[in-house]
Chain A
Amino acid sequence: DAGVIQSPRHEVTEMGQEVTLRCKPISGHDYLFWYRQTMMRGLELLIYFNNNVPIDDSGMPEDRFSAKMPNASFSTLKIQPSEPRDSAVYFCASSLSSGVYGYTFGSGTRLTVV
């Protein structure tokens, strides 16, 4: 298995623009998570899905952020409009419900909003 695949790896955008981050989880995993990592706040959970259904979005900063999972093999995180304070590394992770093999993270998308 190729693991969790995220795209793009790097994104530089101007303030006010729409940004879409993409994630392909490991086949067969029924949970998908979006995390954000910054030096100041570490790894923060934004939202997670179970069987494509959003379960907990309490970590989504505000209405500018939205996430979808239209099927078991694809998820997106959208920021509209983007702001400089959104600059961070965004990670997608997937797992089985048992979690016994851990949660597998992708390589992340480094977002810079200028």
Chain B
Amino acid sequence: EDQVTQSPEALRLQEGESSSLNCSYTVSGLRGLFWYRQDPGKGPEFLFTLYSAGEEKEKERLKATLTKKESFLHITAPKPEDSATYLCAVRGAAGNKLTFGGGTRVLVKP
């Protein structure tokens, strides 16, 4: 069974204070590690898909990296609008479903 664990559960940052979120996973035959952003009252919004160890993707102040056992989401010089819950999910060899972690709630204070 695929499993995803995210840490920390919550993160409070000052504007401009860079940090990283962790996503540890166990999966049979990784066919994609997905990062999503979720704002209160909304559905998860797709950010990145990573497929193989060593792969990196960037979008504005966000950068996602992948190893064989974990992924990191780096937030560089965050702004208050980066406040959200960030979700990590994996798609394994068994089917086309995503298994999600519990998320990291990020609050960026001005």
Contact = CB atoms under 8 A, between A and B. Distances in A.
Q: Do most interface residues of chain B lie in helix, strand or loop, or is the interface mixed?
A: loop
Contact of A102 (B42, B46, B103): B46
Interface stretch (A66-74, A79-87, A105-113): A105-113
Interface residues of A, number: 24
A42 B97 contact: no
B107 interface: no
Interface string A23-52: 000000001010000000011010010100
Contacts of B34: 99, 102-103
B57 to A, nearest CB: 12
A17 interface: no
Interface size class of B (residues with CB under 8 A): 20 to 34
**Residue with the highest number of chain B CB atoms closer than 10 Å, among A56, A103, A105, A108:** A103
Contact of A99 (B36, B96, B99, B103): B96
Given A42-B102, A100-B49, A106 B43 contact: yes
B43 A42 contact: no
12 contacts: A33-B97, A43-B89, A50-B96, A91-B43, A97-B96, A99-B31, A99-B49, A99-B96, A103-B34, A105-B43, A106-B43, A107-B41
